[in-house]
Structure 1
Amino acid sequence: MRDLEWKELSLFYSVESSQKFLNKVYTERGMEEPKRYAFKNSERFIFFIKHAESFYKQASLSPLEIKPILLFYGMSQLLKACLLTTDPSYPSHASVLAHGVTARKRKKQNYSFRDDEVKVQRNGLCIHVMKHLFGIAGLEEERYTMKKLLTAIPELHAVFHFQEKKNWLTKVELKDNLISVPEHAVIHYNMSDTRFAEYISHHLNWSFVRKDHKNLVFEAAPIDREPWSSPNLLFHLENNQYYIPSQRDHFLHLPEMIIHYLVLYNVGMIARYETEWWYELLTQHVSDDYVMIRRFLEVTERKFPYYASNFLKQYL
């Protein structure tokens, strides 16, 4: 566990500060009775973050066998803290308390983690977070494979490239409000420059600005430039670099916080209920899934608290 993100989150460990913070957020968002809700939620807000920190702290000291379970519950607590800034009545009913994701039943033979799927349920924390934190709707019953989700996490690109000898991501440059996409990326989309600009403008809502040397330059709205919220601009925390998928059918249009939640839910369920497969993987290293899962857990342990911290700091 990295200390920096938790030092920033621990700044909220005061009822006085949390009340002021929540009152400011609710007022800016035009919510009714901001002072009353800030008073009501300040302690809960602190407890969610502190509980998350306890889970993450234990996860950092725990063996790989149980680490995903602890990380998932820590992640859920951070999401609940973030939800209090956009949904002051959370939880308003019992249906939002469930995880909101299901994993398919696994076959005992020839099971591959990267081919496994999760499905977003109609109710629960997942769909509630999509709606209230990111304004996403219409993904109920949507299914995602682990591979499609994991290829959208830039820190895992090196693992995929080593195992499959394939580039899933293209590096882009972000400067101020402009995103420069290298012209060679267009080749992988099988498009002309003009068609690529139209495609990106239509599907990503980025405005085409100009062609500059060997780059196509786009302007994105502020929400699409923030790593914690952007559904299309992928951020590599360790290298401080930005990417987009190398192929047009690999845009998930999901913020990375949601991607981490979906993957970690599945890994946590495996660790809890697929004990035989889980221990065979961890002790015998029988497949490439071991390296993939281990690397994902290393990444999410730092990156999710970083995103949660950045989400809250946008209001400061």
Structure 2
Amino acid sequence: MTYQEWKDLSLFYSIESTQKFLEKVYKIKDIDDAKSHSFKNSERFIFFLKHAESFYKQASVSPLEIKPILLFYGMSQLLKACLITTDPSYPSHTSVLAHGVTARKRKKQNYCFIEDEVKIQRNGLCMHVMKHLFEKSGIEDERYTMKKLLTSVPELSSIFYFQQKEQFITRIEKRNEIVSVPESVVISYNMSDSRFAEYVSYHLQWEFFKKEQDNLLFHIPLKDKNPWTSTSILFDIEKEQYYIPNQRDQFLHLPEMAIHYLVLYNIGMIARYETEWWYELLTQHASDDYVIIQHFISITESKFPQYACMFLHQFI
């Protein structure tokens, strides 16, 4: 893990400052009784962050065997801290306390992690986060394979190319509200320029601006401006570069924080309940799953707290 995020998050470790911060956020969001809500939630907000920090710091010195379990609970605490900036009454009922995700029963033979899938439940933390943090609805009962989710994490693209000799994402240029999409992406979608412009206008709410050499320029909506809220643009935090999927069916329309939550939930469940398969993977290195899982855990350990920090600091 990197310690800069926790240094920045520890700025909130004061009830006086956090009360002012939450009151400001609630007023920005036109939430009634901002002052009383900020008074009620300031201590809870700090406890969520401190509990998250404890999980992440313990994970940083723990072996891979148990690291995903610790990271998942740390991630959940960070999400709860973010949640009470938009839903001051969280948790208003017990149904939002569950993880909100299920994994299918595993086959004991020939099980392949990247072909496994998870399903978003109607109730629980996952859907509550989607609605309140990302204003995303209508995905209850949706299923996602690990491959679809993991190929949307751009830091893993070199691993997928090494293993499968396939590029799932293409780099684009982004400057504030303008993105420049290369012609090669349009070709990979088997579309003309005008059809591609119509497609992203309808599905992504991007507005065609102009064609410049071999690139199409678009105005993007506010949610796609920031990498922690975007549901269409992928951000490599190590290279500080932006990407979009190479194929239209690779668009998940999920923010990356949700992608990390879904993948880490599944890995954590395997580590907890599929002990035999988990230890065979970690000790024998027999399949490509090992490299993908190991690298994802390394990425999410650093990237998720950075995104949570960015989310909170946008209001300062």
Displacement of 1:223 in angstroms is 1.5
Distance 2:176 2:281 in 1: 44
TM-score, normalised via structure 2 length: 0.99
Q: Which residue of 2 aligns with 1:80?
A: 80
Correspondence list, 1:176-187, <5 A: 176-187=176-187
Q: Which residue of 2 aligns with 1:122?
A: 122
Displacement of 1:312 in angstroms is 0.6
Point out where structure 2 has 5 or more consecutive residues left out of the alignment: none
Q: Deviations over 1:200-225 (max 9, x none)?
A: 11111010000001100001122211
Indicate the SS of the match to 2:144.
Answer: strand
Correspondence list, 1:27-176, <5 A: 27-176=27-176
Distance 1:70 1:234 in 2: 26
Displacement of 1:313 in angstroms is 1.1
Indicate the SS of the match to 1:108.
Answer: coil
Give the AA of the match of 2:283: T
Indicate the SS of the match to 1:85.
Answer: coil
Q: Which residue of 2 aligns with 1:22?
A: 22
Q: Which residue of 1 aligns with 2:276?
A: 276
Distance 2:28 2:227 in 1: 22
Displacement of 1:240 in angstroms is 0.2
Q: Which residue of 2 aligns with 1:3?
A: 3
Q: Which residue of 2 aligns with 1:261?
A: 261
Further displaced range: 106-115 or 219-228 = 219-228
Displacement of 1:314 in angstroms is 1.4
Further displaced range: 265-274 or 193-202 = 193-202
Give the AA of the match of 2:10: S
Distance 2:27 2:311 in 1: 17
Q: Deviations over 1:8-34 (max 9, x none)?
A: 111100000100000001111111111
Indicate the SS of the match to 1:166.
Answer: coil
Q: Deviations over 1:62-117 (max 9, x none)?
A: 00000000000000000000000000000000000000000000000000000001
Distance 1:264 1:21 in 2: 30
Q: Which residue of 1 aligns with 2:202?
A: 202
Give the AA of the match of 1:307: Y
Distance 2:313 2:221 in 1: 18
Distance 2:105 2:254 in 1: 24
Give the AA of the match of 2:277: W
Point out where structure 1 has 5 or more consecutive residues left out of the alignment: none
Distance 1:76 1:183 in 2: 40
Distance 1:286 1:278 in 2: 11
Distance 1:288 1:80 in 2: 33
Displacement of 1:239 in angstroms is 0.2
Contact in 1 for aligned 2:176/2:225 (Cα 8 Å): no
Indicate the SS of the match to 1:86.
Answer: coil
Q: Deviations over 1:27-58 (max 9, x none)?
A: 11111111101000000000000100000000
What root-mean-square deviation, in Å, do the aligned CA atoms of Structure 1 and Structure 2 show?
Answer: 0.5
Indicate the SS of the match to 2:84.
Answer: helix
Further displaced range: 248-257 or 220-229 = 220-229
Q: Which residue of 1 aligns with 2:289?
A: 289
Displacement of 1:131 in angstroms is 0.4
Give the AA of the match of 1:77: Q
Distance 2:181 2:242 in 1: 10
Give the AA of the match of 2:21: F
Distance 1:305 1:125 in 2: 18
Question: Alignment identity in percent?
Answer: 69
Q: Deviations over 1:251-273 (max 9, x none)?
A: 00000000000000000000000
Displacement of 1:176 in angstroms is 2.4
Correspondence list, 1:242-257, <5 A: 242-257=242-257
Correspondence list, 1:191-230, <5 A: 191-230=191-230
Distance 2:162 2:256 in 1: 22
Give the AA of the match of 2:35: K
Distance 1:196 1:136 in 2: 24
Name the count of aligned residue pairs: 316
Moved runs in structure 1, 4+ residues, more than 2 A? none
Distance 1:114 1:87 in 2: 34
Give the AA of the match of 1:132: H
